[in-house]
Amino acid sequence: MDQQDNAIGASPTMQSPPHRALGPGYSPAEVRQSLWLIMLAWLFGASFSAIVSGATLTSFLTKYLKLDDFSYGIVMASGQAAVLFLFLGSYVNERSGRVKRNFLIFTTLHRLIWLGVAAGALFLPGASMPVKVWVVGGVIFLSAAMANFGGGAGWIAWMSGIVPKRIAGSFFGTRASLGMISMILTSIGVAYLLDHFATSGWIYAVVFSVAAIFGATDILTFIPIREIPRPIEEKPPTLVDILVTPWSNALFRHFVLYIALAWMSYTMMGTFQWRCAFADVKEGGLGMSLTTANLVMFILPVITQVLSAPFWGRAIDRFGPKPVLTAGAFFSLIWPIPWLIIRPDLIWLLPIAHLFSGLLWPGNEQILTYMQLKGFPENRRTAYVATFMVTFGLACMIGAALGGVLAVFWKDNMHWIPGLPSWVTQYHGVFLFSMLIRVSSFVFVLLPLQLPGVAAGVGAVTREVVISGVSSLSAVNRARKKRGK
């Protein structure tokens, strides 16, 4: 068993089944070309993601369609409800050994289906609340189903054979930074348009149509990248095998349990931070404009993520996943604290909080990518990735939907709590519950987790990230001075 198979602590009793031998691998030239195309593709994909999530989608649902807290939570959870299609995609991938064809077809459809949301912007404003929820939620669900079947676990397995392990962390850190630059530029333009034309259905139709085109361009950029078929077992796995195999690995179960709890918390808070920011003050919100909220909650942290993401990736390459995951999770207990006391006169706290979130958050996201690419066993990799992504998606779905339920509950029952300050709203109740889940999962699940990695504490990881950043800035300055001479 090689190092990659041992990375997640694969059981020594798990034997690799006989399979057909692979042909020649990727040449160095092919790897270089593929890495550039993967980078280029994400510039378009990041623009798509910036539009179909965060400020734009929240503005569409709350300011234009005027969904209430519960309906908003349901729609935001609808995409995650399609995660079961990941298992079907994994089943097809493992039995065929091929990913590329399904990835190109179904993931392109995933992006183009957002044209349905664009059409909804023109025809839904006068509809009833249930119709709005069913139509928008249904389109988002269908889009996610296409993505999960065609891309999902298969894309990760395909990329794992292309991106060298020794640079996986730094490569995807750099890729994330470039994508975030694209997100910033896209979100600035969209925020300007929506602040001036937010009551016009045509502007949302145009924005979501552009997102669909950008998203499809992202996927079609992968056409020139060659796929080497993955090994096929002499007795191809059944769907039951796909479902059962990952759960036989005890360390995988432990890792997935932590990720599920943590991201349920992250999704709950993240979803309702946007809701709280946009809601009127009289409804318990902060009454922020889309431009202001987008600047503080998206652009500012993304700018700092552009700077810090590559250095978190390098820290993974040096220390391994456990120390970096621990550091990222620890900082995620700190930076959201201002949201527990937020009110309109304390909005000035948010730029500080989100500045630090951008610097400290990438460790969490980089670990997710690294573990799927290089941390799970090679044997039936797509089954592991599919199981992970299904659990991840269900946790995010529960987080968004439960946030809506809690918001309604607190809004109806807060008046029963004696001595509660007048500034406390239903959103504070959601944020507090999210933080309780976050702290509990860190103490009782993450700290005992036996992921691989050198013995390094939060301080050592932080110093590595800071030193890498300072060294890079120094190198840039030296290069500038040299050119100046």
The 10s digit of each residue's pLDDT in 138-166 is: 999 999 999 989 877 778 888 888 888 77
Average pLDDT of the segment spanning 95-114: 91
- Please check whether residue 456 is in contact with residue 319, taking contact to mean a CB–CB distance below 8 angstroms: yes
Instruction: Report yes or no on 230 lying in a domain.
Output: no
Cα–Cα distance for residue pair 313/318, rounded to 1 Å: 9
Tell me which of 296-300, 391-395, 448-452, 478-482 is least confident. Answer: 478-482
Mean of the per-residue pLDDT values of the chain? 86
Instruction: Report yes or no on 7 lying in a domain.
Output: no
Instruction: Report yes or no on 36 lying in a domain.
Output: yes
Average pLDDT of the segment spanning 367-380: 84
- Please check whether residue 354 is in contact with residue 297, taking contact to mean a CB–CB distance below 8 angstroms: yes
Residue 4: per-residue pLDDT:
33
Which of 187-193's residues contact partners 24+ apart within 8 Å by CB, and which partners? 187/50, 187/51, 187/54, 187/55, 187/56, 187/294, 187/298, 187/299, 187/302, 188/294, 188/299, 190/50, 190/51, 190/55, 190/56, 191/55, 191/56, 191/290, 191/291, 191/294, 191/295, 192/291
Q: What is the pLDDT of residues 32-45, one digit of tens each?
A: 999 999 999 999 99
Q: What is the pLDDT of residues 344-356, one digit of tens each?
A: 999 999 999 999 9
Instruction: Report yes or no on 12 lying in a domain.
Output: no
Instruction: Report yes or no on 395 lying in a domain.
Output: yes
Place of tokens 């909080």: 353
Rounded to a whole number of angstroms, the CA Rg of the chain reads 22
Instruction: Report yes or no on 14 lying in a domain.
Output: no
For the domain that residue 345 is a member of, what is the CATH number? 1.20.1250.20
Residue 207: burial class (beta carbons within 10 Å; 0-12, 13-18, 19+): buried
3-state helix, strand, coil in the chain (%, to 5): 75, 0, 25
Domains: count for the chain: 1
Q: Which domain holds residue 387?
A: 28-225+239-484
Instruction: Report yes or no on 17 lying in a domain.
Output: no
Q: What is the pLDDT of residues 165-210, one digit of tens each?
A: 778 778 887 888 888 889 888 988 888 888 777 667 888 999 999 9
